Structure 1
Amino acid sequence: MSAPSRFDRGHTDDLMTFLSASPTPYHAVASAAERLEKAGFRQVSETDAWEGTSGGKYVLRGGAIVAWYVPEGAAAHTPFRIVGAHTDSPNLRVKPRPDSGAHGWRQVAVEIYGGPLMNSWLDRDLGLAGRLSLRDGSTRLVNVDRPLLRVPQLAIHMDRNVTADGLKLDKQRHLQPVWGLDDTVRDGDLIAFLEDEAGLARGEVTGWDLMTHSVEPPAYLGRDRELVAGPRMDNLLSVHAGTAALAAVATSGADLPYIPVLAAFDHEETGSQSDTGADGPLLGGVLERSVFARGGSYEDRARAFAGTVCLSSDTGHAVHPNYAERHDPTHHPRVNGGPILKVNVNNRYATDGSGRAVFAAACEKAGIPFQTFVSNNSMPCGTTIGPITAARHGISTVDIGVAILSMHSARELCGTEDPHLLANALVAFLQP
C-alpha cells in the first residue's frame, strides 16, 4: 500500500491561506470541512441514525469539528488514534448591545475573550467576522475582511510615563474600538450593517457571535524567509496540520490498525467547559456512536477506548532571545527545530514516559527531530485540552505542538519549517 506523500513548504503556504480564511472558529471548521470533503469525507448529522459503513465522516457543532476515517472491515473494538486541537484564539468579541460611542465617535462594545496580549490589538486595522443566527433558525457566516475597526492608543503626550512605567490598559474603558463618526448612538446599526454585508434583509438576524480580527495577511519574514508571521497560529496551526494529516492518511490506501480521528474543539482559551469544548461530551459521544454504529457493545467501546491514544497538539513557547531567563535553563525549544513534546509533572500537560515513547516513535518514523518543553519552575505552567481529554475519557494523551513567539498576540511568529514537520509527525502517528 502507498504511504501519504511527505509534506514540505507547500504545506506552510497552505497554512497561510487557511489562517486568512479562518478569522473565527466557525470559519475554521468550515475551512477544515471543505478540505476533508475533497478527500472524500462526508458530513453526518448528530440527529440522524449513523450507519456503520467505512470511509470518512465528520460532525460539525458550532466552532468544533470531529472527523474520523473507518477502514474497510474495521472491527467494533478497533482503537482510535486522535489528533486533538482547538479552534479559538484570544480576541475582542462583540457584546449583546454592540452600538456605543462618545464625543462624536461611533464605537462597538466588545468583551475580552481569553487572555490576549491586549497591547497587540492597539492601533491595528481590524475586521469583523463570526456567525449570524437568523429568524428561520438557520445560521450564516459573515466576514468583513477589510479595515473596519480600530482601538486607538492614547498619544504619548497625554501619557508621559508610559515608557518608564509601562502601558496600563483598563479592559472596560480602553479597548472599545471606533468605527466611525456620529453624535447619535442608534441601537441596531452594527447588525443592520452586517445584514447588508451578508446579503440579508433587515431584521433577519436575531442572534450573533461576532469577533474582531487583524486584516493584515500572514507573511513570510526574515532575510531568508525562514519565519512566518500571522494571526491565530494558537491554535489553527495544529487544526490545519491535523486536517491535512487525516486527509492524507484517509486517501493513502494504507492498511490502518487504528481509526484516525481529528477533534478540534472551541473554547479552550476559556476553560473548555461548553458543548463544543474538550470538557464537554462531543468527542466521547462521537467515538461511542462510531463503535455502536459498527455493531459494537459497551464492551467493544471499553476495549476501543483502552487502546486509544490522543496527541493534544497546541502551540508552545520557543526560547525568546530577549527573555531567555524566563525559560527553563536546560530546555530551550527553537523555531524550525521540529515539534515539541510538552511535559509537566503536575499534569498541566498530560505527557508521561509511555506517551513520550509513542511520540518519539512517530517522529522517528517520519524522519524528523523533536524537542522538549518544560516550564521554568518559578513560573506557572499553562495547560491544554490534553489533561481534560485524558481525565474525561480515560484516554492515554500526549501533549505536543509547535514552538512559537508572541503567543496570544494578535499576530504570532513561527518557523517556516515547523508546520510541515508537525504534519509529517501527525501522519506517522495516525498511520503507524
Structure 2
Amino acid sequence: MSSKLNKQVFNQQLLSFLDASPTPFHAVKSMRCLLDDAGFIFLDESSHWNLEAGKGYYSTRNGSSIIAWRQPTDSHGFESGIRFTGAHTDSPCLKVKPQPELLKQGYFQLGVEVYGGVLLNPWFDRDLSLAGRITVKQTSGDIKSHLIDFQKPIAIIPSLAIHLDREANVTRSINAQTYLPPIVGQATEKPDFRELLKQQLLSTTDTSIEQVLDYELAFYDCQKASLVGLDENFIVSARLDNLLSCFIGLQALLVSTSGAGQVLICNDHEEVGSASACGAQGPMLSQWLDRVLPRESNRYAILANSLFISADNAHGIHPNFAERHDDNHGPLLNQGPVIKVNANQRYASNSETSAQFRDLANRAGVKVQSFVVRSDQGCGSTIGPIVATETGIPTVDVGVPQFAMHSIRETAGAEDAFGLAKVLEQHYQS
C-alpha cells in the first residue's frame, strides 16, 4: 500500500501543531480542529451516542485527553479486531501554584510547582510565556472555562552569575522551591495574579467576567519549533515528548480510509503516573469500550484480535554520552522508529506484538530499531504496560528516537516522525 502522506507537508504541519500546543488543553484543541476539518463528529460524554458505520467520531475528557475513532464499515463490525494507537498529551513543565504571588527585592515573581521529571537546567535564561485553562464566574452567574495563552515572553528565570558561584559548572544543584520562581516584573506592592489573568482574558475574549475562580497554567518556552542542521535533519522543539506521537497518530488516522475499527487515544498525566480520570490508568478507555462494544461476550474476542501500538519517544544514542547506552541498542536519529523492550515489563512489547509491528514497518518500507536500557540502569515506562494490564489488549511500545528527553527543548530526526506515521497508516489500513 502506497502512503498518502507527504513528508515535507507533514513536517511543516508538525511544526505548526507543536507551536499551537503549549499545554495539553491546547494540544487537544489543535487535534479537535484537525478532526473537525476531516469531518469527524464530536460526541459529548454526557450525551447518548448514536454511532453509524463508517463515520469518524471523537470525544474528550477534561479538555486534555482525547479519543478519536472510525466505526467499521464491515457488516461484522469490530469482530476482526481494533487497530489502536495511544500517546500522551502532557510534557514535563513548571506549573503555577494556586497562590503564587512573590515579591522579593522589588521583583514580582510567581511560585511554580515542578510537573513530571523535568530536566531543570535548560529552563534558565529562556524567554517564557504562560498558557493553560482558566475557570471563571461570568457576570451572568455561569461558570465557564477558557483557554489562555499570553503568546509573548512575560517571564524569565535568570541564572546566578558564574562570578558569584565559581563552582557552578561542577557542583551546582537546583532547589526547585527557591531557584525556579520566574521573574515577571517589578512592583512595590504584591500584585493580584488572578486579577491580572482576568484582564488578560478580557483583552482576548468576548466575554464578561466577574471573577477568576481557578486555573491550571504552565510556563513554556517562546522559541518556535524548527528544522535544524545543514540539511535540516532534525526537528527541534519543546514538548516533542509526546506531542510528536499525538500528531503522528492523528495524521495516520486522518489519511486512512474506513474499513476496520481504527482508534487513537491520547491521554493526559502520563508524566506523573497516568492515575487520573483522564489518564491511561483511569477509566477513559474502558468506558469507551463499554459504549462502543456493549456486548461483553464479544468484547474479549475482539480485544484478543486487536493490537495497541503505544507510541512514546525513545532515547536516541547521544554522541557525547554513548556510554550511557547498551552498545547493541542505541537507536540513531533518522534511522527509523524504535521498538522498546524491557524484560521487567516496563514496556509491554513481546515477541508477537513486536513481530506485528516489524511486519507493518516492512510493508510501509520503514526501517525499525530496538531499544533496551543498560542492564545496570533503571528503565522508565509509559502507557503501554498500563493499557495491557487494564484491558488485556496485545500491546507493543514504540517511539521516535530523540535527544534531551524532558528538556525545555528536545531534538528528533526529521525522517523518523514521518516514518512512524507511515507505519501507523499501515496499521490502520491492515
Tell whether the structures are fold-level matches, with TM greater than 0.5.
yes
Deviation string for 1:226-248 (max 9, x for gaps)? 11211100000000000101111
- Alpha-carbon separation, structure 1, partners of 2:203 and 2:234: 35
74-83 or 302-311: bigger deviation: 74-83
Deviation string for 1:110-133 (max 9, x for gaps)? 110001110111110011000111
Matched to 1:53, the amino acid is E
Match in the other structure for 2:34? 35
Find out whether 1:184 has 2:189 as its counterpart.
yes
Matched to 1:169, the amino acid is I
Match in the other structure for 2:127? 125
The Cα shift of 1:302 comes to 2.0
- Alpha-carbon separation, structure 1, partners of 2:263 and 2:75: 14
Deviation string for 1:67-109 (max 9, x for gaps)? 1101224535432111000000000001111222211001111
Find out whether 1:101 has 2:107 as its counterpart.
no
- Alpha-carbon separation, structure 1, partners of 2:37 and 2:356: 30
Match in the other structure for 2:92? 90
Match in the other structure for 1:64? 65
Match in the other structure for 2:176? 171
The Cα shift of 1:6 comes to 3.2
Find out whether 1:235 has 2:213 as its counterpart.
no
340-349 or 95-104: bigger deviation: 95-104
The Cα shift of 1:36 comes to 1.2
- Alpha-carbon separation, structure 2, partners of 1:278 and 1:47: 20
What secondary structure does 2:28 align onto?
A: helix
Find out whether 1:155 has 2:161 as its counterpart.
yes
Match in the other structure for 2:409? 411
Deviation string for 1:379-407 (max 9, x for gaps)? 11110000000001111110000000010
- Alpha-carbon separation, structure 2, partners of 1:196 and 1:262: 35
Contact 2:90 2:269 in 1 (8 A): yes
Deviation string for 1:129-172 (max 9, x for gaps)? 0011122232111111110111111111111111232x311000
Gaps of 5+ in 2: none
Contact 1:314 1:399 in 2 (8 A): yes
Match in the other structure for 1:400? 398
Identity of aligned residues (%): 38
- Alpha-carbon separation, structure 2, partners of 1:410 and 1:197: 28
Count of residues in Structure 1 that have an aligned counterpart in Structure 2: 421
Matched to 1:185, the amino acid is K
Gaps of 5+ in 1: none
Matched to 1:308, the amino acid is S
- Alpha-carbon separation, structure 2, partners of 1:74 and 1:138: 42
The Cα shift of 1:284 comes to 1.2
Matched to 2:221, the amino acid is S
Q: In 2 relative to 1, CA 7–426 (structure 1 residues): closer, same or farther, beyond 3 Å?
A: farther
Match in the other structure for 2:8? 9
The Cα shift of 1:419 comes to 1.0
Match in the other structure for 2:286? 284
Match in the other structure for 1:369? 367
1:321-400 superposed matches below 5 A: 321-400=319-398
**TM-score w.r.t. length of structure 1:** 0.94
Q: In 2 relative to 1, CA 197–314 (structure 1 residues): closer, same or farther, beyond 3 Å?
A: farther
